C-alpha cells in the first residue's frame, strides 16, 4: 500500500486570465483528515473538484493510491463526496439515496439494503430511512449525504464545506460526528472550509490556501501558534499589530518584553518592525502607572476580551480567562506579552 493516499502534483487550473490553482503540491496520508482552509476564491474548492474528477487541470497530476487518475472521469474515481448544498436526490427517500452508489456498482439488492441500513445506523438515522429529503432537516440531510458517500466505501472522502448551511449548534454536533466516523473508519479525507475554527478542530493537518497557493501546511497547533506568513497569521485566528524593536540574536523588544522573532531576517538591529501578537499572548494588569487604558470589556463565556488603548493611540485586543477582579473599562493597565514567539510582518509603518 502506498504511504501517500492522495498526491496532487503541481496542479494548475486557470479560468481565462485568472489562475485559480497555481502549481499546488499536496500529499494526504492514508487515514488522515486534511483540511484545506482559505477565503473565498483561494482555490480550495477548485483543488477538491480536480481531485473529485469534476474538472480537468491545465497542468499537473492527480494521484490516488499511486495511480494517476488525472483523466479518469468522476464516476470512475471511487470517491465519496458531501457537498455544501443539499445534494440528496429529491425523488428518493434516504434509504434509496444511500443505495444509489451501490446500485451503480451492481451490488445485489439484499446486500445493498443491508449496507444502507448499516451506514444510516452509523450516522444515527436508521429510523429516518423512509423519509424523503423534504421531510428531513438540513442537518439530517447532510448526515444522509455522508452515509451515501460512505456506503460505497470510497478510497477518499471529499467534504466540500458540508456544514456551512447549518446553524451553529447543529454544525458543532455534526462536525464532531464526522470526525468520529472518519476516525472509526480510518478513511482518507479532504475537508474544504473557510471556517478556521472548523478546520482547526477537525483536522489532523491544515493547509492554508491563498491566491491558488498553499501558504502553510501543518498541524492545527503549528498553523495557529507558528504561522509561516502574515497571511496565515491574519486568517487563522485574531492578530494584534504591535510595534517592536529589533534586538541582537534574532530577538525583539515588544511592549517591554524580549521575544524570539520569526521572520526578522534581514531587519536591521535597532530598527522598528511591525509584530503580530495573538490576543491570548497578551496580558493586562491593573497598574496606575501603566501605559494603556481599558476601552472595552466583552464577556465571551470562559474568556473575556478586552480592548485596550495604548498611550500612543494604538488599540490592542487581549483575551484572558474570565475571573473576578479583571480591570474595568477606564482603568489604567500595563500590557505584557506572555508568549515566547512573535511574528514579524514587515518594517514598521509610521
State the alpha helices, DSSP H only, in 166-275.
168-185, 196-202, 220-225, 230-235
x/- track of binding to another protein for residues 114-133 (CB under 8 A): ------------------xx
Of 38, 101, 162, 227, which lies in the binding site for another protein, with binding defined by CB under 8 A? 101
192 and 21 Cβ atoms separated by less than 8 Å = no
Residue 276 C-alpha cell reads as 503580530
Query: Is 64 or 158 the residue whose CB approaches another protein more closely?
Result: 158
Q: CB 90 → another protein: shortest distance, Å?
A: 6
Rule CB under 8 A: choose which of 59, 100, 228, 274 binds another protein: 100
Task: Count CB atoms within 10 A of the CB of residue 151.
Answer: 24
Of the candidates 238, 200, 227, the residue with the CA atom closest to the CA atom of residue 36: 200
Q: Show the binding pattern over residues 69-98: x = contacts another protein (CB under 8 A), - = does not.
A: ----xxxxx-xxx-x-xxxxxxx-------
Q: How far apart are CA 9 and CA 25, in angstroms?
A: 5
Q: Is 152 in the site for another protein (CB under 8 A)?
A: yes
Using the minimum distance from each CB to another protein, give the nearer residue, 101 or 290: 101
Backbone angles phi, psi at 184, to 5 degrees: -65, -40
> Which lies closer to another protein via its Cβ, residue 95 or residue 205?
95
Residues 265-294 that bind another protein (CB under 8 A): none
Q: Which is nearer to another protein, 192 or 276 (CB)?
A: 192
Name the burial class of residue 347, with classes exposed (0-12), middle (13-18) and buried (19+) by CB atoms within 10 angstroms of its CB.
middle
d(CA 316, CA 293): 10
Smallest gap from residue 81 Cβ to another protein (A) = 5
Distance CA 276, CA 240 (A): 6
41 in contact with another protein (CB under 8 A): no
List residues near another protein by CB under 8 A: 52-54, 73-77, 79-81, 83, 85-91, 100-101, 104-105, 132-138, 145, 148-149, 152, 158
Amino acid at each position: 500500500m502506498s504511504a501517500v493516499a492522495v498526491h496532487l502534483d503541481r496542479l494548475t487550473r486557470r479560468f481565462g486570465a485568472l489562475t485559480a490553482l497555481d502549481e499546488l503540491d499536496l500529499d494526504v496520508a492514508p487515514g488522515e483528515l486534511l483540511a484545506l482552509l482559505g477565503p473565498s476564491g483561494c482555490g480550495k474548492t477548485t483543488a477538491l473538484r480536480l481531485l473529485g474528477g469534476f474538472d480537468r487541470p491545465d497542468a499537473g497530476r492527480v494521484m490516488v493510491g499511486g495511480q494517476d487518475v488525472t483523466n479518469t472521469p468522476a464516476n470512475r474515481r471511487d470517491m465519496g463526496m458531501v457537498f455544501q448544498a443539499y445534494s440528496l436526490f429529491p425523488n428518493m427517500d434516504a434509504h434509496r439515496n444511500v443505495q444509489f452508489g451501490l446500485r451503480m456498482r451492481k451490488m445485489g439488492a439484499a446486500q445493498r439494503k443491508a449496507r444502507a441500513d448499516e451506514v444510516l445506523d452509523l450516522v444515527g438515522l436508521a429510523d429516518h430511512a423512509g423519509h424523503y429529503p423534504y421531510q428531513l432537516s438540513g442537518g439530517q440531510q447532510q448526515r444522509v449525504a455522508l452515509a451515501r458517500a460512505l456506503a460505497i466505501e470510497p478510497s477518499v472522502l471529499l467534504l466540500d464545506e458540508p456544514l456551512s448551511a447549518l446553524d451553529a449548534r447543529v454544525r458543532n454536533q455534526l462536525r464532531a460526528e464526522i470526525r468520529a466516523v472518519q476516525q472509526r473508519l480510518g478513511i482518507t479525507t479532504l475537508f474544504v472550509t473557510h471556517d478556521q475554527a472548523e478546520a482547526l478542530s477537525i483536522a489532523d493537518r491544515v493547509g492554508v490556501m491563498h491566491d491558488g497557493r498553499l501558504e502553510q501546511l501543518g498541524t492545527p497547533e503549528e498553523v495557529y501558534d507558528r504561522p509561516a506568513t502574515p497571511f496565515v497569521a491574519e486568517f487563522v485566528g485574531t492578530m494584534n499589530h504591535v510595534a517592536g524593536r529589533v534586538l541582537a540574536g534574532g530577538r525583539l523588544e515588544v511592549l517591554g518584553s524580549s521575544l524570539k522573532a520569526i521572520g526578522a531576517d534581514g531587519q536591521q538591529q535597532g530598527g522598528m518592525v511591525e509584530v503580530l501578537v495573538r490576543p491570548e499572548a497578551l496580558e493586562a494588569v491593573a497598574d496606575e502607572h501603566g501605559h494603556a487604558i481599558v476601552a472595552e470589556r466583552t464577556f465571551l463565556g470562559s474568556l473575556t476580551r478586552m480592548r485596550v488603548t495604548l498611550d500612543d493611540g494604538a488599540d490592542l485586543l487581549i483575551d484572558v480567562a474570565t475571573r473576578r477582579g479583571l480591570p474595568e473599562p477606564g482603568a489604567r493597565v500595563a500590557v505584557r506579552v506572555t508568549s515566547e514567539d512573535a511574528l514579524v510582518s514587515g518594517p514598521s509603518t509610521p
